[in-house]
Structure 1
């Protein structure tokens, strides 16, 4: 997955579920992340970047929190595929 797509999707999950960034930062550090809490805030706001390792640690922290709370949306890992939903194109001359 592209770094910017992962950033946007992770930030969207955090925002949608109104997750506490201070708590996520503690979980992120526990998973091996070493960015500051302020850098995570900047990352989620789209104002800074993180390394692949740190993006995945944050996504894992988000996903563990979501799983524990029974929340449906999950943050993607860098190895996740991004699928674009496109409507099935119909032949304009078809009667179907």
Structure 2
């Protein structure tokens, strides 16, 4: 399953966040595959798209950074996946 993960940190957390990122690369646990990650310029925030078979790895990753950032995460669908769900919903409504 794919997830959209967003984070935001306070300016006071910038230096500790930089140090941890440079040390670890911000890599997720082995059971989470990062499909892409983007960082906002001039803010301590960003977004990642990840894939995981369950939420345990996602929880582990968020907890590793939870002292520096506030996180939101939500399941995500591609256009094709959403299209299939919409088509099934329309067919069931007929």
Query: TM-score with structure 1 length normalisation?
Result: 0.34
Q: Which has the higher helix share?
A: 1
Query: Is the strand fraction higher in 1 or 2?
Result: 2
